[in-house]
């Protein structure tokens, strides 16, 4: 199993002695299995002042984290697109590829913890939001013709069904401990099954996309079911032209909201198949 890190480098709601915002490098390990202990994930943090916001200082921070970690990462994920050039350059200089990704659940939860209990206890804390710079998202693009699924279906599993996920027959995929989401064992977790005679190539292609989440876009004309990937990419899984399909998609969104944004997407050859060519646990996060 590879080692993946999640990284954030941004200003915090705390001022230094000169009245300028402190910046912070946060690095944590991505959990990749439902049974991986959350408490054992590697974490590293360091504060920098605003004159140290550059790729050199960030590279030094990544190097310091590597020196303390049990093992260096195979790749690093980051969600702040406005910091893309600096993060990519710093990581490349260390010899580690960096990818824009919204698959940063462990980092998001850690940031929430620090916003609630760490920064407010620091001198010169500034209450209120610390908004990220918002960048426009590109227009959703159609899937490559050869990868379009022939059928699809919404399904639901209870959270306890994922306890033995590591034992399922899956060719491509990634998961995370549901403890990160704080779900009760009987929480219904919604999902989307894609069926295709080219299921293996479809799953292989999806595995290289940094899958983020599935979303129903009701306001498009006509409404669409989207697969969000990378830092901002969006793919059209299906166009929903009937009221029945739109209602199913709306119910999927409601179930996803009740599950704290947790859901899944899976790829199979047909509805009778017992194995998965691809299976990913997903989380729609509010990243800022």
CA 167 to chain CA mean position, Å = 23
Q: Quick check: pTM over 0.85?
A: yes
Q: Percent of the chain having pLDDT more than 70? A: 96
Per-residue pLDDT tens digits for 140-170: 998 877 677 678 999 999 999 998 998 999 9
* Whether domain 4-121 has CATH 3.30.360.10: no
Q: Which sequence spans correspond to the domains of the chain? A: 4-121, 141-283
The strand pair at 188-195 and 151-158 is best described as: antiparallel
Contact 238, 224 (CB under 8 A): yes
Please give the span between the terminal C-alpha atoms of the chain, in angstroms, as a whole number.
29
Strand partners, 40: none
| Contacts (Cβ under 8 Å, ≥6 apart) of 183 | 159, 189, 259, 260, 262
Packing angle, helices 55-68 and 84-94, rounded to 10: 50
Question: How many CA atoms, within 13 angstroms, populate the side-chain half-sphere of residue 11?
Answer: 20
pLDDT digits (tens, 9 = 90+) for 232-269: 999 999 899 999 999 999 999 999 999 999 999 999 99
Low-confidence ranges of the chain (pLDDT < 50): none
Which pair of structure tokens corresponds to residue 273? 């198949």
Three-class secondary structure of residue 216 per DSSP: strand
Report the candidate in 241, 154, 150 with the shortest Cα–Cα distance to residue 193: 154
Residue 199: exposure state from Cβ atoms within 10 A (0-12, 13-18, ≥19): buried
């Amino acid at each position: 199993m590879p080692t993946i890190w999640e990284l954030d480098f941004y200003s915090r709601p705390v001022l230094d002695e000169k009245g300028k915002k402190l910046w912070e490098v946060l690095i944590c390990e991505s959990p990749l299995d439902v049974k991986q202990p959350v408490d054992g994930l590697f974490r590293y943090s360091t504060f920098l002042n605003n004159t140290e916001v550059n790729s050199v200082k960030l590279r030094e921070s990544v190097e310091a984290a590597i020196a303390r970690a049990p093992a260096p990462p195979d790749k690093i994920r980051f969600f702040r697109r406005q910091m893309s050039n600096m993060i990519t350059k710093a990581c490349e200089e260390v010899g580690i590829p960096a990818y824009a990704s919204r698959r940063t659940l462990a980092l998001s939860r850690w940031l929430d913890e620090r916003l609630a209990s760490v920064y407010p206890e620091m001198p010169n804390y500034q209450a209120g939001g610390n908004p990220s710079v918002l960048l426009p998202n590109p227009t959703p693009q159609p899937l490559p013709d050869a990868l379009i699924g022939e059928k699809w279906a919404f399904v639901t599993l209870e959270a306890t069904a994922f306890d033995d996920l590591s034992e399922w027959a899956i060719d491509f995929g990634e998961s995370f401990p549901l403890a990160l989401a704080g779900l009760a064992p009987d929480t219904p977790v919604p999902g989307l099954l894609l069926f295709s005679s080219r299921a293996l190539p479809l799953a292989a292609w999806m595995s290289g996309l940094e899958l983020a989440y599935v979303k129903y876009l009701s306001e498009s004309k006509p409404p669409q079911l989207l697969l969000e990937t990378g830092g901002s990419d969006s793919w059209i899984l299906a166009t929903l032209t009937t009221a029945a399909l739109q209602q199913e998609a709306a119910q999927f969104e409601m179930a996803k909201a009740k599950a704290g944004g947790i859901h899944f997407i899976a790829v199979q050859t047909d509805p009778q198949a017992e194995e998965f060519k691809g299976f990913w646990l997903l989380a729609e996060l509010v990243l800022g």
